[in-house]
Structure 1
Amino acid sequence: MTHFNVAGIQMHIGMKSNLEEMNRRLDLLMHLYPWVEMVVFSELAANGPNPASAQPMGGENEQAFAKMAQKHNIWLIPGGMFEKKDGRIYNMTPVLNPEGEIVTRYRKMFPFTPYEDATEPGDEFCVFDVPGVGRFGVAICYDLWFPEVMRTLTSMGAEVIINPVLAHFVDRPADLAIAQASAAMFQSYVFHINGLLAGGNGYSRVVDPAGQLLHDGNVQEELIPIEVDFDLVRRQRERGLLGMGQVLKSFRDRKVNFDVYSEHFDHSYLNSLGVLVKPERPQRAAPQGNTQPKT
């Protein structure tokens, strides 16, 4: 059997450097659960949602992450930071191995526009292998709302999806439903790890490849150690979710091509929806006549 131990850290995030606090939470996690092999922080954990904190590759944040990974001999997905690259700003998380080496970087493909408007979208999918264990994929927050991302990652062989999030909006229940549904639809573990304060409103969630909740979080700081069973993923993909739907095979064997992705598809309806902008307060006509309340 191929088991691997992954832990999420849900913690308070501020708008300045959070590296010291991240290091403290990591020390505590590894003291309590020394068997953990990979640790995941929430989206933009390093400095919060502050584009002015953007750093180039190899900067102070990544150097600190390398020391954390080396210190505890763990794989580390630190949830990310704003990155300066080629005159643009990306929402990026590195993936570090136990030697503190950056094996890959993932740049968020779907910034939460029009709210996350300072960020350039990335254009490369991210999977990486833990030798002798299995394949992981990375999707940051809003990426999970686009099933094409999960479809591509799982078609590339990802068996566990690492999903750092920064979510504190009124659509949070939809986030949680999508995380759970994505695990079932793509027969993957999903680690949906949120922050607190400037980092989100918590409710981190871990889901197994049958869509069953392994952890359903709250609004306090949490350490979330979970044992992943890669054989369970592989068995369910072969035999079906709980012995039922074999959705990845059904997609593979489909008889239809999806023309919506073709440049020749009629996008007139989507174009009719208007420009992607923040909603504005409605303009209401001034009341007519006497507006004094009756006595």
Structure 2
Amino acid sequence: MTQFAIAGLQLELSAGDNRHQIKKEIQKTMAIFPWVEMVVLPELASFGTNPELAESHPSDTEAFYSDIARELSIWLIPGSFFQREANGSVYNVAPVINPQGEVVERYQKIYPFYPYEKGVSAGAKFVVFDVPEVGRFGVSICYDQWYPEVTRNLTYLGAEVIICPTLTGTIDREVELSISRTNAVIGQCYFFNINAAGEMGVGQSIICGPDGSVIHQASVGRELMPVEVDLAQVRRVRERGMFGLGQAIKSFRDNPVVFDCYQPDADKKAAWGDLGELVVPERVQR
């Protein structure tokens, strides 16, 4: 069976402890849509954007969500939250929890939103996981979507669905909607970009299909978005091409070109090296 039901929860959240609100929303979702098999929350949904609230690993928050997944027998990606490692480094982490309540993977955001996301270290491991008898899923977080290499590598590792919890409260959300569609079509995969609403985010979550189609685009308020995906469609698009046309992954695989920008000394080349430091822009002096 290649069908699988995923519910994205675009919730109206505020800075602070949102865990019990989230638990009620998950329970409500499962009561209304008992056929849902996976629930996905926005980035930093539990506490907000303050890395000083990071918990040591393994965290009480992770255990809290593990209990919910076990009780409801669902796959759960509860957005992300900050975790502090033994060496003191803080990461933006999205756990993947199976219906038995087991944490099968932890994804550490590879591209924190520098220079604004301060005090957060960058992860370096790509995360994919298998849902038995369904297919392979990948995880990215928010700003990762701006780097097509992340989606490319997840699909290289076999991901057919990419789950991307997001927290965008800025004026660039319209651009991210097109980026999400682009990630779906260049990866020939489903792409779930689930944003927060309310004080923390501007909503407008988007779910895209492997042909770049928009399956659902949310408005700006609270929405429960249950969608049944069919991974057979992913496999057909990858085999035959979008609309029977572009077979993008095969073409990328078969072309022997070497990209200069990926070489070890790329940051020293003139075009990139002259850009200056990655810092918050200063006010123009007049």
TM-score range, shorter chain: over 0.9
Structure 2 equivalent of residue 53 of structure 1: 53
Structure 1 residues 264 and 23: alpha-carbon distance in aligned structure 2, compared to 1, 3 A threshold: closer
Structure 2 residue runs of 5 or longer lacking an equivalent are: none
What CA distance in whole angstroms lies between the structure 1 residues aligned with 2:148 and 2:55? Answer: 30
What CA distance in whole angstroms lies between the structure 2 residues aligned with 1:129 and 1:48? Answer: 29
Q: Is the 8 A contact 1:179 1:192 kept in 2?
A: yes
Runs of 4+ in 1 over 4 A off after TM superposition: none
Deviation at residue 22 of structure 1 after TM alignment: 0.3
How many residues are treated as equivalent by the alignment?
Answer: 284
Deviation at residue 59 of structure 1 after TM alignment: 1.7
What CA distance in whole angstroms lies between the structure 2 residues aligned with 1:214 and 1:242? Answer: 16
Structure 2 equivalent of residue 65 of structure 1: 65
Structure 2 equivalent of residue 218 of structure 1: 219
Partner amino acid for 1:32?
I
What CA distance in whole angstroms lies between the structure 1 residues aligned with 2:133 and 2:223? Answer: 29
What CA distance in whole angstroms lies between the structure 1 residues aligned with 2:63 and 2:41? Answer: 16
- 1:269 corresponds to which of 247, 268, 271: 271
Matched, 1:128 2:105: no
- 1:279 corresponds to which of 278, 281, 284: 281
Within-5 A mapping of 1:1-295: 1-85=1-85, 86-265=87-266, 267-284=269-286
TM-score normalised by the chain length of structure 2: 0.97
Q: Is the 8 A contact 1:43 1:199 kept in 2?
A: no
Partner amino acid for 2:22?
M
Q: Is the 8 A contact 1:69 1:99 kept in 2?
A: yes
Deviation at residue 51 of structure 1 after TM alignment: 1.1
What CA distance in whole angstroms lies between the structure 1 residues aligned with 2:49 and 2:261? Answer: 33
Partner amino acid for 1:170?
I
Q: Is the 8 A contact 2:38 2:76 kept in 1?
A: yes
What CA distance in whole angstroms lies between the structure 2 residues aligned with 1:100 and 1:249? Answer: 37
Q: Is the 8 A contact 2:59 2:83 kept in 1?
A: no
Partner amino acid for 1:82?
F
1:200-248 alpha-carbon deviations (Å, 9 max, x no partner): 1100000000010111111110000000100000000000011110000
Point out the structure with max Rg over C-alpha: 1
Q: Is the 8 A contact 2:198 2:221 kept in 1?
A: no
Deviation at residue 264 of structure 1 after TM alignment: 4.0
Partner amino acid for 1:257?
V
Deviation at residue 259 of structure 1 after TM alignment: 2.2
Q: Is the 8 A contact 2:188 2:237 kept in 1?
A: yes
Where 2:138 maps in the other structure, the secondary structure is strand
Q: Is the 8 A contact 1:44 1:199 kept in 2?
A: no
Partner amino acid for 1:25?
E
Structure 1 residue runs of 5 or longer lacking an equivalent are: 285-295
Q: Is the 8 A contact 1:13 1:47 kept in 2?
A: no
What CA distance in whole angstroms lies between the structure 2 residues aligned with 1:197 and 1:15? Answer: 10
What CA distance in whole angstroms lies between the structure 2 residues aligned with 1:100 and 1:9? Answer: 19
Partner amino acid for 1:168?
G
Partner amino acid for 2:229?
V
Structure 1 residues 82 and 198: alpha-carbon distance in aligned structure 2, compared to 1, 3 A threshold: farther
TM-score normalised by the chain length of structure 1: 0.94
Partner amino acid for 1:182?
N
What CA distance in whole angstroms lies between the structure 1 residues aligned with 2:107 and 2:146? Answer: 17
Where 1:201 maps in the other structure, the secondary structure is coil
Deviation at residue 268 of structure 1 after TM alignment: 1.8
